Amino acid sequence: QVQLQESGPGLVKPSETLSLTCTVSGGSISSYYWSWIRQPPGKGLEWIGYIYYSGTTNYNPSLKSRVTISVDTSKIQFSLKLSSVTAADTAVYYCARGSGNYGYWGQGTLVTVSS
């Protein structure tokens, strides 16, 4: 059974870079797309972007200038970096498998942007 687990700091200062990693277990990272989705507290879901295991990416234009998603197949991990964060980036960040529909999700990690 494929499992995903997000990890990273729960608190980030304004203007700094948010960095999260998603570790995949129980399956291969190859031949799949891997995504990041976020959810501000009490609000709906926002797609951030995805990466193919080969490294091809697709980002939400609303975040594109600040987002980088990368993959490390040797570690069976993929990562999210979001630069120049503000309070509006406070959210639960989920990693998920896929590029269209999402059958596998991590449990989510709350990242708060605050000084």
Q: Candidates 12-20, 23-31, 79-87, 102-110 — which segment interacts with another protein by CB under 8 A?
A: 102-110
Of 15-23, 68-76, 81-89, 97-105: span binding another protein (CB under 8 A): 97-105
CB nearer to another protein: give 57 or 83.
57
Please report, as residue ranges, which positions from 54 to 93 form the binding site for another protein (by CB under 8 A): 58, 60-62
Q: What is the DSSP string of 33-81?
A: EEEEEEE-TTS--EEEEEEETTS-EEE-TTTTTTEEEEEETTTTEEEEE
